[in-house]
Structure 1
Amino acid sequence: MLAVLLAILVGLIALFWSLSGDTDQITTVIGDNAGYLIGLLALGGLYLMASTGDYRGRRGDAIRHAAIWVVIGLALIVGYTYREELRTVVYRVAGEVLPPGHTILIDTTPTGEQAVRLRRQENGHFVARGAANGISLSLLIDTGASTVVLKTADAARVGIDTNALSFTTPVSTANGTTFAAPVRLKSVSVGPLEIRDVEALVAQPGALSENLLGMSFLKRLRSYEFSGDFLTLRG
C-alpha cells in the first residue's frame, strides 16, 4: 500500500509540473530535459512499486498496478509534449463555459506578453471584470469612447475626491450630451493586463449606468481583436 501511495504522489507531482502554466520557469531551471525528467519520475514510481514487498504472492495485482502506472507515465509524457495544445483547449473550453465577463488567460510569452479573452454578453456587449487603482470594477468595452469613463460612485470607490471634481468636459452618451470631469487613474487592469497612468473621465451622477473601458486603455495594449462572440486583448 505504501508503494501505491508513493507512486500516486510522484504521479501527481509530475502531472502538476508538466501541465503547469509556468513552463518557462521549468525550462529555465532544467533546460531541455524536462521531458526526460518526467519520464524518470514515471519510472521511479514504477520502481517504488516493484522494490517493496507489498506484492509478494500477488503477481496479478503487481502486473495490473504496474500496467496502470505505465499508462500514467505515458500520459504524463504525452501531456508534457503537447502541453501548449492542451492549454489552448482548456482555455477555449473555459471561455465557453464561464459566465460572460470572466477574463481567460489564453497566451503568455517569455517576454511577458499576455492575452486575455472575453465572451460577449447576451445583450451584445463585452463587459470585463477589471480594476481601477486596484479596486474591482465592472467595465463595459467601448471603442467609441476616447477614454475610460467612471460612474461617480465608482470613482469615489477607487479613491477620487468626487467633491473636488469640475465637470467641464462634454461627453456624448446614449442619453445625449452630458459633462464629465477629467482625472488620471494610477492603473487600470483587465485580468493580468495592466496599464498605468491612464487618462479618464468621471461622469456626472446618474449620467452613466456602466463604467466604460475606452481607448485611453485599449490603444495602449499591444492589440485588441473582435472575433465572433469573443474579444481578445493582448498586452
Structure 2
Amino acid sequence: MIFLAIGLLAVSLALYLLTGDGDTIAGLPRDEFPRVAALLALLIFLMAGVTRLTAGRVAEALKALGSWAAIFLVVISLYTYRTEIGEVRDRVVEELNPGTVQTVSPGMEGSGKGAVVSVKRQGDGHFIAKVQVNGKAVRMIVDTGASTVVLRPEDARRAGILISALDYTVPVDTANGRAFAARVKLDKVSLGAVTLEKVDALITRPGALHQSLLGMSFLSRLRSYEFSGNRLVMKS
C-alpha cells in the first residue's frame, strides 16, 4: 500500500504539471486537486500501517479498515459540502455576533476589486456593521441617508485621530438636534473584503451621536449596493 500511496502522489503531480493552466483536474478545481490527492495518499499510507500492525489478526485488521473507511467517508462528505457548511457557519456567527460582515466573494486577490459583502438587518431595522477604520474595529450603522461617514469622538480616537486638534465648524443635524462636526479624511475604511482609501468623514463632538454612521462618502464609491430581503449587499 505504501507504493500505492507513492504512485498516487506521482500520478497526481504528473497530472498537475501536464494539464498546464486548466481550470479543473479530474473534475476537481485546479487549486483543490493537490490537497485531495495528498489526503488520499495519507489515508492509504495510514491504512498500510494499520494492516502491517495487525498482520495475522484478520478481525482486528477488518475493524481497523472499517474505522478508516468511516473516517474517509466523513472527510469526503465534509469536503463535498464545504460550501454549504461554510454558509451555515456564517449564519451562526451572524446570530451570535451581530454586525458581522459576510464576504460573499473576496474579489481579486490582493486588491479586493470586485469583492461582494453583505450585512444583515437587525431587529431594530438598522444594518449594523463592524467596520475597520484605519485598522481599528468600529461598529457603525450603514446609513444611506447620511451624506458622509460620521464618527463619534470615541471611535475617531480609537482610529488614531487626534480629536483635540480638530476644527468643529461643520453644522450637522442629528437625532439630538443641531451640532457641529469637524472634517477629516480617513486613510482606510474596510467593510469585510471591501477596502477604500482616503474616505471623507466628519467627527462629531461628544454626545452628538449614539452610533457612528457609514454614509454615502463610502457607499457612493462602491460599484453598487442593494437591499435584498433582510440583507444589504455591497459590491466594490
Give the TM-score normalised by structure 1: 0.73
Contact in 1 for aligned 2:185/2:200 (Cα 8 Å): yes
Report SS of the residue matched to 2:200.
strand
- Distance in 2 (CA, whole Å) between partners of 1:39 and 1:65 is 22
1:24-53 deviation digits (Å, cap 9, x = unpaired): xxx8xx973844762563254234323553
Quote the residue 1:98 is aligned against: 96
For residues 1-235 of structure 1, the aligned pairs below 5 Å read 32=30, 34-35=32-33, 38-39=36-37, 41-51=39-49, 52-95=51-94, 97-110=95-108, 112=112, 113-235=114-236
Q: Is the 8 A contact 2:149 2:214 kept in 1?
A: yes
Q: CA deviation at 1:143?
A: 0.9
Deviation string for 1:83-109 (max 9, x for gaps)?
4444334334433x3221122333224
State the 1:165 CA deviation.
2.3
Contact 1:178 1:207 in 2 (8 A): yes
Partners in 2 of 1:128 and 1:215 — Cα distance?
Answer: 15
Q: Give me the whole-angstrom Cα distance separating, in 2, the residues matched to 1:149 and 1:232.
A: 21
Distance of 1:82 and 1:71 partners within structure 2: 17
Q: 2:91 and 2:157 mapped to 1: Cα distance?
A: 36
Identity of aligned residues (%): 43
SS of 1:206's partner is coil
Unaligned runs of 5+ in 1: 1-26
**AA in 2 matched with 1:61:** E
For the aligned residues, what is the CA RMSD? 3.0
Answer whether contact 1:55 1:61 (CA < 8 A) is retained.
yes
Quote the residue 2:8 is aligned against: none
SS of residue matched to 1:170 = strand
Q: Which runs of 5+ in 2 are unaligned?
A: 1-23
Please report how far the alpha carbon of residue 65 of structure 1 lies from its aligned counterpart in structure 2 after TM superposition: 2.4
1:20 matched residue in structure 2: none
Scaled by the length of structure 2, the TM-score of the pair is 0.72
- 1:78: how far off? 4.8
CA 39–72 in structure 1, closer or farther in 2 if over 3 Å, else same: farther
Q: Is the 8 A contact 1:35 1:80 kept in 2?
A: no
For these two proteins, the number of residue pairs brought into alignment is 207
